[in-house]
Amino acid sequence: MTLSVKDLSVARGGVPVLIGVSFELRAGQAMILRGPNGSGKTTMLRTLAGLQLPLSGEVHGAEDKIAYAAHSDGLKSMLTVEENLTFWAEVFGAAGISAAVEAFELHDLRDRLAGTLSAGQKRRLGLARLLVTRRPIWVLDEPTVSLDAKAVEMFAQAVRDHLTAGGMALIATHIELGLAEAQVFDVTTHRAGPDALAGASDEAFL
């Protein structure tokens, strides 16, 4: 199983932001995306997740394999932690949430309404959702926001376990996750220059 990206160009709001991105990710590998705000990390991750169309280029091996997590976790404050997780498990056709609950130490919170959790606890719940999807490729956009050091370690451990089990992870983050074996991909090297117009929605007008 491989995720291969060839010559991918992506656009935000009709303006190209990244051009000619190519990489390959095999089972058990992780990749960290780095780059300043607005450099196109989120756009690229959304494109890989299939939420938006690429300008050009090909993505192979992503279809129905990606679990996507971004800034908002899709949690319902009026449902309990357990109900939130069970819902996503059922949507993704997976059974059992106990592994996810264990990995992110949500046991004591199981019956609390998600709306009563702290920001960090919510984030842990959002990340636990990744485990119940049973999808091999994790595409994560700033997963460690509002997590404390202990929770970050929890998360890093979950990623390591996922990789050991043959999964993959693509993570846009600023902090060091302690994933020694991860490739680092600096998006700034593929940043679209001001003259890059191919595929821009306004291209035809210039």
Give residues in contact with other proteins (CB under 8 A).
13-15, 49-53, 64, 66-68, 70-76, 78-79, 83, 86-88, 90-93, 129, 133, 194, 197, 200-206
**In terms of residues, how long is the chain?**
206
Q: Which residue's CB is nearer to other proteins, number 68 or number 104?
A: 68
> Measured between alpha carbons, how far is 122 from 67 in angstroms, rounded to an integer?
18
Per DSSP, helices labelled H in 6-80 are 41-48
Closest contact distance (angstroms) between CB of 104 and other proteins is 17
Q: Which residue's CB is nearer to other proteins, number 184 or number 198?
A: 198
If DSSP codes are grouped into helix, strand and coil, which group holds residue 75?
coil
Closest contact distance (angstroms) between CB of 110 and other proteins is 16
> Measured between alpha carbons, how far is 139 from 137 in angstroms, rounded to an integer?
6
Q: Which residue's CB is nearer to other proteins, number 133 or number 144?
A: 133
Q: Write the Ramachandran bin of 187: left for phi over 0, alpha for psi from -120 to 50, otherwise beta.
A: alpha
Q: Which residue's CB is nearer to other proteins, number 179 or number 199?
A: 199
Q: Which residue's CB is nearer to other proteins, number 4 or number 87?
A: 87
Give every CB contact of residue 78 below 8 A, 6+ residues apart in sequence.
113, 114, 115
The tokens describing 194, both together, are: 């001001």
**For residue 24, which phi and psi values (nearest 5 degrees)?**
-135, 140
34: which DSSP letter?
E
Closest contact distance (angstroms) between CB of 17 and other proteins is 10
Closest contact distance (angstroms) between CB of 72 and other proteins is 3
Closest contact distance (angstroms) between CB of 52 and other proteins is 4
